[in-house]
Amino acid sequence: MACVGILSCGLYFGRVLVVLMESKWLTLGFTSAALATVGALVIAAPARAATLQHWWFDAQTNQLVFTTDSEVQPRAQLLANPTRIVIDLPNTQLGNTTTNQAVGGAIREVRVGQFDRQTARLVIEIAPGYSLNPQDVRVQGVRPNQWAVQLPAPRPGSAPAAGSIPAPSASANRVEGNTGTGAAAILSGVVATGDGFLIRLSGTAPTPSVQFTRDDADNRYAVIDLPNTAVAGNLRPDDLPNYRYSVVTWDVAQQATTPPSTRITLKLGPTSPDWRALRNSSGVIVLPPSGVPISSVSDEPPPLATAPSSPPTTTAQAPPPARPAQPATPPPTRSVEPPATPPELPTVPNGRVVVVIDPGHGGRDPGAVGINSLQEIQVIFPISLRVRDLLEAQGVTVVMTRQENVTVDLQARTALANRAQANLFVSIHANSISLSRPDVNGIESYHASDTGQRLAATLQASMLAATGMRDRGVKQARFYVLRHTDMPAALVEVGFVTGAQDYPRLNDPAWREIMAQAIARGILQYIQQGL
C-alpha cells in the first residue's frame, strides 16, 4: 500500500478487519513533502456517538492515553510549522474532562476541545526548536474505546525525518475448518490470563502435545495438537488474543482426521519462551516453562515481517512429560469489555448469610492518590456499592461499614461487623506507589488467618478471571480490620491508581462494573463451597 500526502489505512476492532496485523503498534509515517501539508491516519467513524471520558499525558513515558464511553476509531495527524500531533475522534463529544495540561520541556502542552459538533480533538504541541521523527510515533489500540499515542523523545531540529507506513498484511490470526461436530471436545475460544493463555473447551478436554519448529525465514512456531477436538462454528480470528506475551499470531485449524483433531500454531516473537500446555478442568492452559515468571514475557511484538501463507508442516510428537495441573485463571484479555449479558452469579444455599462490605477510607481520608489526582475513594466506593447490590440480588444480607463519603475509624468498622455476627468480611481498597513507578500494576488479596486465606484466594482467582490483570498474589498481613474481625476476613486491592496499566481501568466505570461482579462472584463462590 502506497501512502503519500493523506495516508489512509483501515483499522477496526471486534469483528472488523485490522490491516496492520504484524505489529502491535501502528506507525505514523510521512514524507517530507507530506509534512508540509498534513499526513493523516484515516479511520471510519463509529456508528454510535461516543463521549470522551478522560485522558492524560504521562511526561515520564511520553505517552498520551484517552478513553471514551464506547468504541472509538480516531484520526491521527502530524502537522508541521509548528509541529504538533492532532488526534480527532469522529462522532465523539467532549465529556466532563480536563481541557489542557501543561507539560513543559520538548512537549509544550496537551489540550482537548470540541473541533465541531461531531468531533472531539486532542492536540499535542511540540515546543519550538524540537521535532519528531514520524516513523517513531506509534498509536496503539488498547481496546475498542481506548487508545495510546506513544511519542519518541523529541530532539532539537526544525525538520522531522521522512518516514513511511509499512505495507499491511491481510490478516493476523486465522481459524479454519470450524465444523464444531464429531469430537469429544469443542474449542470455543482462547483468552489471555494472568499466567499465560487458556484454551477454552467444552466436553472432555484432551491431553495436548507441544512441539517447536521454524520455517525457511527462521520464524519460530509452537504447535499445540489437541486430539479428538473440533473448532466451534462461531469462533472468529478476532476472538483470539492479539500480541499478548510475545505471541504474534494464532492459527487454529481443524484437521481432517477421524475423530476431528485441532492444531494450534503460534508464531512466536524473538523473546517468547518455549510454552508448555497442560490439561485442566477449564480446558487447556498454556504456560511459560517452570521457573519463568509471566511478568518477564513482554507483550511487545517483533518487527514487521512477511507472514507465511500457511503454518509450517510439522510431525506429531508425543506430549511432554506430565506435570501437576496448575489452577487456571481464565480472564479475557487486558482489553476487557463488559459482556452484553453478564454471566449469572452463583446461587447461595438457603438460609441467612451476612456479609460485611467495607469500602476503605472515606471522608477526610481519600486514600491513595494517583495519576491525574485519581483518588482511591473515587474507585472503591462505587465498586463497593455495586457489590452490595449484586449480593442482595442473590439473597445475601449485606452490611456496609459506610454508605456515604464519611470518615469511619478502623475500630468502628470491625465492631460493626462483629455486632452483626457476619459470616464474612471483605474490605475493598485500591493500591498505590510512587508516581515515578508507573510500571507497578496488578491486584492482590490479603488475609490474617487461616479462615481468611481461602476467602482471599477465592476473591483473587475471581478477579483475575474477570479482568486479566497482573497477579500480585494472595498474601498474609496484619491489617487491623483483618485481625479484629471474628469471621473470615479478606482485604482486596483492585489495582494501582499510580499504575500506567491500572489507572485507565480504575478510572473507567465499565471496568469498575466488571470488578464489582468479580468480587461478588468470588464471595458467592466462597459461600457455595461452605462457610
Neighbouring C-beta atoms of residue 486, cutoff 10 Å: 13
Q: What would the grid cell of residue 12 be?
A: 477496526
Q: Which residues are catalytic?
A: 493
Q: What would the grid cell of residue 478 be?
A: 496484619
CA–CA separation, 166 vs 141, rounded Å? 17
> 502: part of which helix (H) or strand (E)?
helix 502-506
Provide the 8-state DSSP code for 375: B
**Nearest one of 491, 467, 512 to 374, comparing CA atoms:** 512
**Nearest one of 176, 67, 77, 91 to 134, comparing CA atoms:** 77
CA–CA separation, 85 vs 148, rounded Å? 13
CA–CA separation, 340 vs 474, rounded Å? 31
Q: What would the grid cell of residue 145 be?
A: 474505546
CA–CA separation, 67 vs 89, rounded Å? 11
Q: Is 60 exposed, middle or buried (0-12, 13-18, 19+ CB in 10 A)?
A: exposed
Neighbouring C-beta atoms of residue 435, cutoff 10 Å: 13
CA–CA separation, 409 vs 380, rounded Å? 17
CA–CA separation, 165 vs 96, rounded Å? 35
User: Is residue 195 within 8 Å of residue 145, measured between CB atoms?
Assistant: no
User: Is residue 108 within 8 Å of residue 91, measured between CB atoms?
Assistant: no
Q: What is the 3-state secondary structure (H, E, C) of 13-29?
A: CCCCCECCCCCCCEEEC
Q: What is the 3-state secondary structure (H, E, C) of 404-429?
A: CCCCCCHHHHHHHHHHCCCCEEEEEE
Buried b (16+ CB within 10 A) or exposed e, 133-160: bbbbbbbbbebbbbbbbebeebeeeeeb
**Nearest one of 151, 140, 114 to 41, comparing CA atoms:** 140
